[in-house]
Amino acid sequence: MFEVKISREFSAAHRVEDYPGNCEKLHGHNWRVEVFVKKERLDELGMVVDFRKLKRLTEEAVASLDHSYLNELPVFEDINPTAENIARHIYEELSGAADVSRVTVWESDTSAASYFEESGA
């Protein structure tokens, strides 16, 4: 099995509504997004996926999030823009264009959340 990863960053503000602490207040992060693609076989060039293609697709997926107030975006209308929900959103944005196996979103150097779908589930 082969796995590749690319990393991209964006800046955005959010608040976690109904959170019993400081995270309910408006604050921002320099978010880091890691996108993983896993395959059993390499393509004819010996790659899992072209890094440039995966970076471009990821940049397109995070463009609407960058320098925004996440709570105001339609995708987070009914859910809190937590790292978990951001990871799922980016995964879903990319899943039609690439064989993404997992998306991890870091809101700080020590705190991250991942979204992936169980195979065979």
Q: Which residues are catalytic?
A: 23, 67, 107
* DSSP structure string for 48-82: SS-HHHHHHHHHHHHHTTTTEEGGGSGGGSSS---
CA 34/CA 3 separation, integer angstroms: 12
Q: What tokens appear for 43 in the block?
A: 């393509």
Q: Is 5 left (phi over 0), alpha (psi -120 to 50) or beta?
A: beta
Task: Indicate the SS3 state at residue 25.
Answer: coil
